[in-house]
Amino acid sequence: MEGIVSTMGATATGRLELESDERLVQRARSGEYEAFEHLFDRHRILVYRFAYQMVGRRDDAEDMVQEAFVRAYQNLHRYRDEAKFTTWLLRIVTNLCTDQARMSQRRSNLEQKEAAGALDWMTIGMTNDPVQNLEDERRKAALRSALNALPAHHRTMIVLRDLEEREYPEIAKIIGCTIGGAKLRVLRARRALRDRIAPLLAQ
Amino acid sequence: MMRNKRDQELLRYAFGELEEGKTEALRNQAENDSELAAELKAQERFAVSLNLLKDVPEDQYSKERLRAAILERCLEPREPAKAKLGWLWMPAVAFGLTFAIMLLPNLQPKAEPMVVKDPNPMRNQMTPPVVLNRTTVVAKKPEPQMTQAAKPNALAFGTAPVQASQKRNRKSYATLVASRSGERTAAPAATQSADPAVKQPVKQTTKPESDPVVLPASNDEPIVIIGALPDAPGRATETEAVTGVLVGG
């Protein structure tokens, strides 16, 4: 009996895995919480990566993931099928990050600075050369600091285009502008970041 | 402007977003221009260095945490209809308030119709009792003779209520009727009209017809004492002469 139940459960799970995002949203709307959990499983990493790039800390990023999915659940009725679910989800996270950046920009910068300095010697490098590893980590920390010091709208563009490698049409939808507008914003953001890390590039 | 455009091209080149033809042209140009070549290299280094940030530590967020968060907030997916009704209460309240304000004057309690009965039995037989209600105009059209007699000195018997009633607006009607009914109970017998055709003003009935009515006057004007004639209704008669007082008939 137990075996039959577990087989049925597995079948239902498999069925949900095959379904599109839009169908899962419909199911979740009608009260099927399991469908929403499937959406969470599918897109959790995407949201987490974006959030981490925006806030630069794992625990903050996880809080952001939670808040984003709770908001998504609350506002499922507002989701329209004409946009991709991931686009809609990223729009929620973008707004969350912008709000959060407004509230705690100063605190975040200070903590980031401290954390970056403290972790320099503890980090395990990518190569076997410890000097090279240290150098990479220093560069990485400097880059991360520069990215976090950017205004939220610039940071969003760098993360979406250069770190998460989203296409311009999708970025335009997430931000709510034209494709040309998205290209221009990305260009301005890159320029702003490049100017910040100019001394680092000269080395 | 040109510098800005050049910078834009270099950035696009570094991130691989420049068109194929332009990319080739830029490379060829950099072979002959060492400054441009150095600039291209710096831009490429910038683009590559961003790859360092692509690594993200693994998350430890779980489904259980999300479920707990959703349960903690007692959330349910909200119905679209409910969400859309959010702003509708404002026009509804505005409409309701306007409606209430418009209806307020009509909600005042209506006074009982007042029946004025002529004490003369003969007149009662000939004419039906005058019913005063909201639509009845009380002494709005006074007897022409009476008006002519009263207007010159504005002291004539019966003109004051007429003028007063003309001045009052509709809202004070209930107050007027209440005061009239009070006077009526104080002097029930004194409701005889000077003219049966004219609806009797209430003030006129507060004194007996035979008594002269003395109204205040200024020092310069002569005081006229007037008594109503029982056989000549609506006509003013001077009844007595006193020092400083003009008396006539």
Mutate to test the interface with A, among B41, B49, B72, B78 (most CBs of A within 10 A): B49
Which residue, of B27, B50, B73, is where some domain finishes?
B50
Q: Residue B178: inside a domain, yes or no?
A: yes
d(CA A4, CA A15): 16
Position B149 in a domain: yes
Q: Tell me, yes or no, if B56 comes closer than 8 A to chain A by beta carbon.
A: yes
Residue A1 vs residue A66, higher pLDDT: A66
H-run or E-run covering B55: none
Q: Are strands B223-224 and B245-246 parallel, antiparallel or unpaired?
A: parallel
Query: Could you say which DSSP state residue B242 is in?
Result: B
Q: Residues B7-49: pLDDT tens digits?
A: 888 889 999 888 888 888 988 988 888 888 988 888 888 888 8
What integer is the mean pLDDT of A68-89?
88
Give Cα separations from A85 to A20, A63, B21 (angstroms).
10, 20, 37
Cβ neighbours of A29 in B, within 8 Å: 77
Which of B94-98, B187-191, B206-210 holds the top average pLDDT? Answer: B94-98
Is some CB atom of chain A closer than 8 A to the CB atom of B48? no
Checking if the pLDDT of A188 tops 90, the result is: yes
Q: B86 vs A69, which has greater pLDDT?
A: A69
What 3-state class would DSSP assign to B131?
strand
Top pLDDT among A184 and B129 is at: A184
Contact B77 A53 (CB under 8 A): no
A51 touches B at CB < 8 Å: no
The answer to whether residue B100 sits within a structural domain is: no
Q: Which domain holds residue A136?
A: 2-202
Residue at B238 is within a domain: yes
pLDDT value of position A77:
87
Of the listed ranges A183-197, B180-194, B235-249, the least confidently predicted one is: B180-194
Whether residue B84 lies within 8 A of chain A, CB to CB, comes out as no
For the residues of B179-217, what is the DSSP string, one character each?
A: HHHHHHHHSTT----SSTTSPPPSGGGSS-TTS-B----
| Pair of tokens at residue A105 | 């920009």
Q: What is the mean pLDDT of residues B228-239?
A: 57
Same domain, B142 and B36: no
Mean pLDDT, residues A182-190 taken together: 94
Which of the given ranges, B25-34, B66-75, B218-227, has the highest pLDDT on average?
A: B25-34
Verify whether the Cβ–Cβ distance B11 to A201 is below 8 Å. Answer: no
Percent of chain A surpassing pLDDT 90: 44
Residues B40, B125, single domain; the answer is no
Going by pLDDT thresholds of 50, 70 and 90, the confidence category of residue B188 is very low
Task: Mark which residues 84-123 of A lie under 8 Å from B by CB.
Answer: none
**Cβ contact (<8 Å) for B77 and A78?**
no
- Predicted confidence band at A44 (pLDDT cuts at 50, 70, 90)? very high
Mean pLDDT across chain A, nearest whole number? 81
Task: Please tell me the total count of domains within chain A.
Answer: 1
Arithmetic mean of pLDDT, A106-127: 50
pLDDT band at B3 (very low <50, low <70, confident <90, very high): confident
- Specify the range with the lowest mean pLDDT, choosing from A38-47, A58-67, A89-98, B82-91: B82-91
At B248, which helix (H) or strand (E)? none
Q: Which of the listed residues B28, B50, B72 is the one where a domain comes to its end?
A: B50
B80 touches chain A (CB under 8 A): yes
Across the range B118-147, mean pLDDT stands at 53
Band of the pLDDT at A13, cuts 50, 70, 90?
low
B42/A202 Cβ within 8 A: yes
Q: How many domains does chain B have?
A: 2
Query: Is B108 among the domain residues?
Result: no
pLDDT of residue A157: 95
**pLDDT beyond 80 at B56:** yes
What was the pLDDT predicted at A15?
A: 67
- In A120-178, alpha helices (H): 130-149, 152-158, 168-175
B69 part of a folded domain: no
Task: Give the structural domain span for B128.
Answer: 119-246
Q: For residue B102, is it within any domain?
A: no
Residues of chain B with Cβ-Cβ distance to A77 below 8 Å are 77-80, 83
Q: Could you tell me which residue, B179 or A83, shows the higher pLDDT?
A: A83
φ, ψ for residue B119 (rounded to 5)? Answer: -70, -20
pLDDT at A39: 92
Residue B161 included in any domain: yes
Which domain CATH number covers A189?
A: 1.10.1740.10
Tens of pLDDT, residue by residue over A157-176, are: 999 999 999 999 999 999 99
pTM over 0.80: no
